[in-house]
Chains A and B, each alone.
Chain A
Amino acid sequence: MKPLLQVSNLTTHFDTQDGIVKAVEGVSYDVNVGETIALVGESGCGKTVSALSIVRLIAEPPGKIVSGEVFFEGADLLKLSQDEIRKVRGAKISMIFQEPLTSLNPVLTIGRQLSEGLEYHKQLSSQDAEREAINLLKMVGIPHPETRIHDYPHQFSGGMRQRVMIAIAIACKPPLVIADEPTTAVDVTIQAQLLELIKGISREYNTALILITHNLGVVARYAHRVFVMYAGKIVEYGTALEVYHRPLHPYTAGLLASVPRLDEPRKTRLLPIKDQPPDLIALPPGCAFYARCDHANDGCGSKKPVLMEVAKGHFSACWVAQKGLKPWQKKSS
């Protein structure tokens, strides 16, 4: 089956005063129809930039998509004209942003913000769009949608606002939704509800989902496949269960060890990954994770690893894993 979205060799740079920041460096992934994939990594590893690059929402300048191809429904999104890409945004690929507090326009009513996409992409009349907006609000679980569409964003709580954002994102029933850390800004009790909501909608409409997150717990539960990013590159990918239970990259193992888990004895210490991620302006010559890696050997610092299939359907860009060794797995089990 042909994937819905195929990103290959995507490279996005930012031209800053200090030099060129290589935010995304040759990233490739694909999403099948109705599939949920997760992009995982710590802050500043290029997750968001790689997703924004798909719909070309990178601010130019200073950002620039240097190379790569993004095939979606038979067309390379990076080669479309401004008018054509606008017809894709919102209608075919929509986004759920991290901050529901600032992603809604404070001076427009919720109903207005919901229906403008419908009016623009689906050419609905304003009455039809309003009716549809009420339906959407009902779908995302907002009580009294008939009166609430006349309210302004500040009259909604954070969780409710994120529900509105979700409603806006699915308004035109796009085949692909990019959720950029959709639950980071809301508290834990709401997080699960929101994720269930997003997941339910994606199942109902067969919507593919790119879930950008740093929460590995979320990944294991909701994603089919996981792509772990580090310093602008994908360092490991495979099915969610594979990556979660048998990580093939020390970075993934480190991420897993640094998250509290309920299924471990209470006294187990959390193991943070030491040091900071490398400077994206001057990347080290070898493996980007070399300086922080407990399992590195001499070759790691000089030669860049490439993604190779280590187990079936499970790829890793780690010299150690590619030799068949996985010292980090022994430690965690």
Chain B
Amino acid sequence: MAVASQSIAVPVRAHHTLWGDAIVRLRRNKLAMAGLAFIILLSVVAILAPLLTPYGFADQNYNDILQGPSWKHLLGTDQLGRDTFARLIYGARTSLSVGIFTQFIVLCIGLPLGAIAGYAGGRTDNFIMRFVDVMYAFPDLLLVILLSSVFYGTKFGGSIYMLFLAIGLVAWVNISRLVRGQILSLKTRDFVSAARAMGGMGRYITWRHLLPNALGPVIVSVTFNIPRAIFTEAALSYIGIGVKPPTPSWGAMIQDGFNLIFAKPYMLLFPAIALALLMLSFTFLGDGLRDALDPKLRR
């Protein structure tokens, strides 16, 4: 039997760390690796965008409006004669940076607040979590509208940074709830009392002993939240309160295409496919990470 011969063959024990194990398991997951490959590819394309296309994302050419795909314009042009391929890869910059920087904001707010609430408990916990509840009840759409009207006319209004802030300010509540739950269950574990018996301070124990243990679920949640943030940005741009034109955004491109859906369907198709692929990639990667970081599935 194959299993028996295998167990005899490996006397040398490999040096496994927690993260090493997780990476090995992640690499076995084909869908997750495909997702990761697409994300990396798209990131490279987004970074190297100026080298990959001769057109700028805002270059208008009224001689070539509403062209179909051709060698001159790989994915055609829109109603202002702008190259769709150029706008698509520059738009990837918008989508990816929205996905990543909102999560950065989310982590900066959600992680410490959740950790403090979980470790301190009592009144502090209650206060923070009620604040989280209020933020949770707040619709992100409303907050973005609010922010854009507050900053209307200034440089900040309608910029991508405002979107980071708006999406980040709403999305951190999930992470803080997750972290709090993790800390609550971790802090009753024996190694926490052992650390306290060694003279450890609450703050130190939370940072040094508890958060690393909670990191797995946090990474998974962040990976799942990235496509959500990307989609939120696309949705906001679709209804016209996202990034200001001419900055390309897949959501705005879908909106442009939607107006001409019967005449020029590919205008809608290309950004929609790109958006769907990117969201799927992050979701598959998140799935793979969740399985890889789950110690119960360790083989």
Contact = CB atoms under 8 A, between A and B. Distances in A.
Interface of A: 55, 57, 86-91, 94-95, 97, 99, 102-108, 116-117, 120-121, 152, 155, 165, 168
B197 A105 contact: no
B199 A102 contact: no
Contacts of B127: none
Determine which residue in B197, B201, B208, B209 has the highest number of CB atoms from chain A within 10 A of its CB, and name it: B197
Q: Which 7 A-B pairs have the closest CB atoms?
A: A90-B199, A90-B198, A102-B190, A89-B199, A95-B197, A103-B194, A103-B190
B18 A94 contact: no
Interface string B193-214: 1111111110010001100110
A166 to B, nearest CB: 12
Interface string B176-196: 000000000000011101111
A104 B196 contact: no
A51 to B, nearest CB: 10
Contacts of B195: 105
Interface in B21-70: none
B68 to A, nearest CB: 55
A70 to B, nearest CB: 15
Given A103-B191, A104-B191, A89 B212 contact: no
Contacts of B197: 55, 57, 89-90, 94-95, 97
Contact of A86 (B16, B194, B199): B199
10 contacts: A57-B196, A86-B200, A90-B200, A94-B197, A95-B197, A102-B189, A105-B195, A107-B212, A117-B199, A168-B194
Contacts of B200: 86, 90, 116, 120
Contacts of A152: 17-18
B198 A94 contact: yes
Contacts of A95: 194, 197
A102 B208 contact: no
A89 B209 CA distance: 17
Given A152-B17, A152-B18, A105 B191 contact: yes
B288 to A, nearest CB: 20
Nearest to B198: A90
Given A104-B194, A155-B16, 11 more contacts: A86-B199, A86-B200, A86-B201, A91-B199, A106-B18, A107-B215, A108-B212, A117-B198, A120-B204, A152-B17, A168-B194
A88 B198 CA distance: 9
Contacts of A55: 197
Given A86-B201, A97-B190, A105 B209 contact: yes
A155 B190 CA distance: 18
Contacts of B198: 89-90, 94, 116-117, 120, 168
A163 to B, nearest CB: 15
A87 to B, nearest CB: 7
Contact of B199 (A88, A103, A165): A88
Best-buried of A88, A90, A103, A107 by chain B (most CB within 10 Å): A107
A91 B204 CA distance: 17
Nearest to B298: A154
Contacts of B201: 86
Contacts of A117: 198-199
A56 to B, nearest CB: 10
Contacts of A91: 199
A95 B200 CA distance: 13
Nearest to B209: A105
B142 to A, nearest CB: 39
Given A94-B198, A105-B209, A107-B212, A57 B17 contact: no
A300 B234 CA distance: 81
Contacts of B208: 108, 116
Interface string B82-105: 000000000000000000000000
A87 B212 CA distance: 25
- Most A-side CB within 10 Å, residue of B18, B194, B196, B213: B194
